[in-house]
Amino acid sequence: MIPWNGGACKRYGFFQEEDLKSKDKLITCLPGKIPPIRPTDIVSFLREKHISEIVFSAALDESRFQNIGDYVLVNTFEELEGGKDAQMCLSVNGCPALAIGPLFLPNFLQGKNSVYSMWEEDRTCFQWLDGQAQGSVLYVSFGSIAIKSEKQLHELALGLEACGYPFLWVVRSDIAEGKSLDLPEGFKDRTKDRALIVSWTNQLKVLSHPSIGGFLTHSGWNSSLEAISMGIPMIGWPYFGDQFLNCRFVKDVWNVGLDFEGVDVDEFKLVTKDIVESTIRSIMEGSIRMKLCENVVRLKKAAHKTVMEGGTSYTNLNTFVEDMQKIAKSRV
């Protein structure tokens, strides 16, 4: 059940369909200093209309077991989430929450790539990236699951063509609603001097490359955290799950990215090539880009600091390990 509309939190219920399309019905009574969130920010499989819905019921059952744990470990960092306030918010059920992320970052900073891919990686893109100007390339990837209609992907392709920027686009074999994508006629020839299309690549290595200037993403949490840790501003295009909330925080709370208006309330909305082009231009050039880059570089520095000795995530993880050792010894 979700509290909504009003600080007193006296009304609990499931969102109706009309609520999900309203930006006026804000959830304002969450603990901690969490900004008001909209119904469309809620994890998509928690938007069910009745408790009997199987996915909602499963998530609810899982949440009931959280208060019997010793800790909740979260792959984020306090400086991103608002410090100890957010940590206290997650601990309201009596089970302490600790931010211990970004989990991938310590290994990355030591030159280790511990990310294992679900798909075969195309490594040729790095030679291509080496030949591009610093901060000039838009990286486009929707992760391993998100799909779009072929019509929408054609509009995206035409927007990428019109923007004039070099781009690296990950086009999975199933991205067009489970099928391979037939690109617009002549698209590859017209963009061959400034574009590279691959089926999959090492995203973390791409985002850390100096030629990358922006990231068009499905707003998955791993992708969002990786982009922030590498100092790359984002354009969010969420698909399902927590991606809507991630996208909104990237844009409106952390101010490190943009999105396409309306896709959170209408999954069938067509984002036209003109909107794609104008949004890409905003993130790759001008005053908007300058502000986004300033914010994301600040968070990048905080992310790197937090996993170092003495940082908050480093300390939190040590606290967890030490407490688990004490508990284990007490039970021997």
Domain boundaries, the chain: 1-64, 119-305
Chain centroid offset of residue 182 CA: 27
CA distance 209 to 135: 9
**Separation CA 217–CA 143 (nearest Å):** 8
- Is pLDDT at 137 greater than 90 in this prediction? yes
pTM here is 0.90
CATH class of this structure's domain 119-305? alpha beta
Is it the case that residue 227 has pLDDT exceeding 90?
A: yes
Contact 142, 222 (CB under 8 A): no
Q: Is the pLDDT of residue 278 over 90?
A: yes
pLDDT at 23 over 70: no
Burial class (CB in 10 A: 0-12, 13-18, 19+), 64: exposed
Average pLDDT over residues 186-207: 96
Q: Which helix (H) or strand (E) holds 151?
A: helix 150-163
CB environment 141-162: b (16+ within 10 A), e (fewer): bbbeebbbeeebbbbbbbbbbe
pLDDT digits (tens, 9 = 90+) for 228-276: 999 999 999 999 889 999 999 999 999 999 999 888 877 789 999 999 9
Kindly report, residue by residue over 32-69, the tens digit of the pLDDT.
Answer: 667 788 888 877 666 655 666 777 777 777 777 766 77
Only one residue has tokens 């996208």, namely 247
CA 302 – CA 317 distance, rounded (Å): 17
